[in-house]
Structure 1
Amino acid sequence: MLIRTEAPADILAIDRLLKSVFETDAEAKLVMSLRENSHLTLSLVACSDEGEVIGHTMFSPVMLDGTDHNWQGLAPLAVKEEFRKQGIGETLVKEGLSSLHEFGYPACVVLGDPNYYSRMGFKSASQFDLTCAWEVPAGAFQAVELASGAFDEHSGVIEYCPEFNEL
């Protein structure tokens, strides 16, 4: 398996993957819209040994109470059904977080299963006095510092790019 940055040739494969993994086309439309509106910070694919795109994750900017702190949001994360439970999603996320750190992004948030994302260092965002702009289940909104002290002296509501409001 190879993890790499999305290339233009991957766009249709990513679109097909997202449409096959999620119940609706909403995530595929979201990814396309984020890409078209230049709200994509990092997009990674996992490829099989044969070069097939079998996993994808994307990171895009988020704001804290309307202020840009260079923080990122992880969404979506998708792995082709027959390749699940092999650590591909976790590898994609860890590689993404490592790349974001190297690029100087100080923090990342995610909305998802706390049991899953805690394995990658995410903690309940409420521990950092951060809340999601949408009403979400307790513990589902999580955050991770990529730079020590990123959340110090910050609290408030995290807002995703406007494209997320169309979901």
Structure 2
Amino acid sequence: MNIEIREEKPEDYFETEEMVRRSFYNVYNPGCTEHLLVHIMRKHEDFLPELSKIALVDGKVAGLIMYYKSYIQTNDKTLTIASFGPLCVDHKYKNMGIGSRLLNETIPLVKEAGFRGIMIFGEPNYYPKFGFKSAREFGLTDMEGNAFDALMGMELVENGLHIEGGKFKETDAINLCTEEALLELENASNYENLKKVSRPCQWSYMNASDKKEGYHYEYATHYPTIFENLFKKYNTDNTREELLHIWKSIDITPYVLFNEKNPIGIMVISVEEEKPQIKHIFLDIPDDLSISYKEEITKNFMELNK
């Protein structure tokens, strides 16, 4: 299997947008808008095409990292930095290290281009392993003065992001991703037909994860190290094919199950039917507790999906 990392060409545009659309569809909301941002960003003044890359597997677009200019504002100045998004890999090509390659091969290019740092909104359980730190460590916030866990940065020069009173301002291209623009793009493009569904852990979905108390579940992709360790325990000769199908399917989603802060197993749901359905629960706890936990988890899930 041949993996190639290179700049995107015009003939790749549609295939890239479809890949991005598949990767994010129904993840944070029913449907997605990330492919619209890609479409808009290519024509925006903040776009950094020389730093942005796609990954191809045997000639098929399998991943993307898109860089653009963003800004840190203070009372008396505005500094230009870099940001990226989306960074994504097609479901079919997960667990091949493509996302890591896209990051590891482009961050040095951003530094060589003279940027003082990179700021992102991203998964706080994923990006720190590449060197990203919470914005709080730099004394930075968003434009409203918030320092969410998802707001992270990486300095590319000494004290590149230690900016007194600095506030992170995203590219204006974000504001162009409206419902009207999405509808126009969807109507004009021959994208594959995907079904919008609600699933646990979407921003608009009420679920047991909201309180983070007792048992709750989180997207496996939000806790990659924990999920990988649990995955290895269940990845036996009898379950390997099934688990790989779970990980790579657009209609089947794995979650890490927690009790308070302790990971206790994996839950798998399917959205192939009208409402989300639990397909599997794998628990890393003593057998005498397993039945009662499964009953409690299933009962709560069914109550939320009436």
The TM-score normalised by the length of structure 2 is 0.51
Q: Which amino acid aligns with 1:103?
A: A
Counterpart of 1:43 in structure 2 is 52
- The answer (yes or no) to whether the contact 2:46–2:70 under 8 Å persists in 1 is no
Q: Which amino acid aligns with 1:123?
A: K
- The answer (yes or no) to whether the contact 1:46–1:53 under 8 Å persists in 2 is yes
Counterpart of 1:121 in structure 2 is 131
Does residue 1:13 correspond to 2:15, yes or no?
Answer: yes
In the TM superposition, 1:50-61 aligns within 5 A as 50-61=58-69
Counterpart of 1:22 in structure 2 is 24
Q: Which amino acid aligns with 2:141?
A: T
**135 and 29 in structure 1: CA distance in 2 versus 1, 3 angstrom threshold:** farther
**Aligned residue among 149, 155, 158 for 1:145:** 155
Deviates more, 1:60-69 or 1:125-134: 60-69
| Distance in 2, Cα, partners of 1:59 & 1:154 | 25
Deviates more, 1:133-142 or 1:64-73: 133-142
Aligned length: 166
**60 and 104 in structure 1: CA distance in 2 versus 1, 3 angstrom threshold:** same
Counterpart of 2:286 in structure 1 is none
In the TM superposition, 1:102-113 aligns within 5 A as 102-113=112-123
* 1:25 CA displacement: 4.1
1:99-140 deviations in Å (ceiling 9; x for gaps): 111111120011111121011110001110111236878311
- Secondary structure of residue in 1 paired with 2:46: coil
| Distance in 1, Cα, partners of 2:62 & 2:114 | 28
Deviates more, 1:129-138 or 1:107-116: 129-138
Does residue 1:82 correspond to 2:89, yes or no?
Answer: no
**Aligned residue among 144, 166, 182 for 1:156:** 166
Q: Which has the larger radius of gyration?
A: 2
| Distance in 1, Cα, partners of 2:37 & 2:146 | 19
- Secondary structure of residue in 1 paired with 2:80: coil
Which residues of structure 1 form unaligned runs of 5+?
none
| Distance in 2, Cα, partners of 1:156 & 1:26 | 28
Counterpart of 1:63 in structure 2 is 71
Q: Which amino acid aligns with 2:47?
A: L
The TM-score normalised by the length of structure 1 is 0.89
**134 and 32 in structure 1: CA distance in 2 versus 1, 3 angstrom threshold:** farther
| Distance in 1, Cα, partners of 2:170 & 2:10 | 24
**155 and 22 in structure 1: CA distance in 2 versus 1, 3 angstrom threshold:** same
Q: Which amino acid aligns with 1:104?
A: G
Q: What is the aligned-residue RMSD (CA, Å)?
A: 2.0
1:67-110 deviations in Å (ceiling 9; x for gaps): 54231111111100021122211211121211111111120011
Which residues of structure 2 form unaligned runs of 5+?
26-30, 178-306
